[in-house]
Amino acid sequence: MLTRRHFVWTSAAALVAPRAFAAIEDPLALTVAPDEVVASGDITLPPDFDGNYAIPEEYRARIVPVRPGLTPNDVHVLRQNRHVYFILPGDRAIRYGVAVGSEGLYWTGTATIGRKAEWPSWRPTDEMIARNPGAYAQYADGMPGGPGNPLGARALYFYQGDRDTTIRIHGTNAPSSIGRSVSNGCFRMYNSHVIDLYRRVPLGASAYAY
């Protein structure tokens, strides 16, 4: 991990400014009880299958309790437990499984969801091509969206101001990679999960990766 910046829940400042970051040791400080799930109520969650792929129990979409004060509609990515949290009202979140960046390629920080796309096109970054030309040079002109595209069914684009960070939350055509550190920095989700997240997250929402 490049930094250990997380929410401080024990200070009064966190209650009035929940988006402030400060160093703490607990990488799961976002969650009240990491293994606890709560009733979905009137919220319809995606199925426990992604197409024909049976999603492992720990990466199935579930509603979980989170620390008080988080902003609804924001997105939080926790590397340590390979989960994405979409914050709901009432100190709850929808938790989804995610794949994260390989060693040395994991991205941390704060961004804004500045763009959303259905069945997005894809082009590897110049850094990816330089790092592994055998795998990526053939896609230097880009790849149209579709089932074979590595960005999968949906993509949420991380911006900092007007700058595209090149980091995305996106689907995948390799569902068995979820729960692993395998990407070039982006955050992969099951297609069924990213479709669900896509329809919930508004443009302009904040995204945090720890």
Q: What is the pLDDT of residues 154-163, one digit of tens each?
A: 999 999 999 9
Q: What is the pLDDT of residues 22-34, one digit of tens each?
A: 333 444 578 877 7
pLDDT average, residue stretch 11-16: 30
Q: What is the pLDDT of residues 165-206, one digit of tens each?
A: 999 999 999 999 999 988 878 999 999 999 999 999 999 999
Q: Which residue has the higher pLDDT, 123 or 84?
A: 84
Give the DSSP letter string of the chain.
----EEE--SSHHHHH-TT-EEE-S-TTTTBSSTT--B--TTPPPPPSEETTEEPPGGGS-EEEEB-TTPPTT-EEEETTTTEEEEEETTTEEEEEE-BEEPTT----EEEEEEEEEES--B---HHHHHH-HHHHGGGTT-B-SSTTSTTTTEEEEEEETTEEEEEEEE--S-GGGTTSEEESS-EE--HHHHHHHHHHPPTT-EEEE-
Q: Which two tokens stand for residue 142?
A: 């880009």
Q: Are 155 and 114 in contact (CB under 8 A)?
A: no
Residue ranges and CATH numbers for the domains of the chain are 5-209 (2.40.440.10)
Confidence of residue 140 (pLDDT cuts 50, 70, 90): confident
pLDDT value at position 77?
94
Indicate if the pLDDT at residue 131 is higher than 90. no
| pTM (2 d.p.) | 0.82
Q: What is the pLDDT of residues 21-74, one digit of tens each?
A: 333 344 457 887 778 898 888 899 999 999 999 999 999 999 999 999 899 999
pLDDT value at position 89?
95
- Give the burial class of 28: count Cβ atoms within 10 A of its Cβ; 0-12 exposed, 13-18 middle, 19 or more buried: middle
pLDDT value at position 44?
96
